[in-house]
Amino acid sequence: ELKVEQNPLFLSMQEGKNYTIYCNYSTTSDRLYWYRQDPGKSLESLFVLLSNGAVKQEGRLMASLDTKARLSTLHITAAVHDLSATYFCAVGEYNDMRFGAGTRLTVKP
Amino acid sequence: DTEVTQTPKHLVMGMTNKKSLKCEQHMGHRAMYWYKQKAKKPPELMFVYSYEKLSINESVPSRFSPECPNSSLLNLHLHALQPEDSALYLCASSGGQALQETQYFGPGTRLLVL
């Protein structure tokens, strides 16, 4: 069974600080997705990582994928309040799509 | 148009009611999905349609019945639901083969079963 584990589940950061969210998964899939969800809203696609060593960056967020370690990271640089949200990683296989439990990020002044 | 629309936004129904959720996209995507999301939990995949054919049914109870009338529309028919079915129901679509590319999510229908 495909399993996806995210940590931490809760993250409280100060503005300007850096931090990393980790996503471990149990299969050999090379398709890893990161989504953002604001309270009461739907999911917004952030990154799609489709091969080992893939790295993508958008603003203060950078995602990477290591398929050998079955690990993806979402790195936050110099956090700002607008980044406060829940972040999900998700792993796709031929017949399944599983999300991690989500990391609830709060950025404080 | 990069939007997935869902109606209604909110729905309250009794356990004996029959209702339908609707989803529409005009991005030319040939894969469409239904997810269920309980409060403070991740989305759970319910159904996947690829080229208007149901390709994956994640052992969802038969009180949920999906329908894909054409490549732009996806319905979820609800009948005899239970209070534990109360959740946010999300529709999504993607290009290419199902589950191969990033999915675009609609705003969701917040369902309350009394």
B50-103 pLDDT, tens per residue? 999 998 777 899 999 999 999 999 999 999 999 999 999 999 999 988 888 889
Q: Across the A/B interface, how many CB contacts are shorter than 8 Å?
A: 48
**List of chain A residues whose C-beta atoms are within 8 Å of the C-beta of residue B23:** none
CA B96 to chain centre: 19
CA A46 to chain centre: 9
Name the residue among A45, A100, A101 with its Cβ closest to that of B102.
A45
- pLDDT tens digits for chain A (109 residues)? 889 999 999 999 999 999 999 999 998 877 899 999 999 899 999 999 988 888 999 999 999 999 999 999 999 999 999 999 999 999 987 778 899 999 999 999 8
Disruptive mutation site among A65, A95, A97 for chain B (greatest number of B CBs within 10 Å) = A97
Residue B94: name the closest of A87, A48, A41 by CA. Answer: A48
What local confidence, expressed as pLDDT, does residue B98 receive? 83
Q: What are phi and psi of A6, to 5 degrees?
A: -115, 145
Q: What is the pairing mode between strands B73-79 and B18-25?
A: antiparallel
Name the residue among B56, B100, B103 with its Cβ closest to that of A45.
B103
Overall size of chain A counted in residues: 109
Disruptive mutation site among B5, B99, B104, B110 for chain A (greatest number of A CBs within 10 Å) = B99
List residues bridging with B64 in a β-sheet: B78
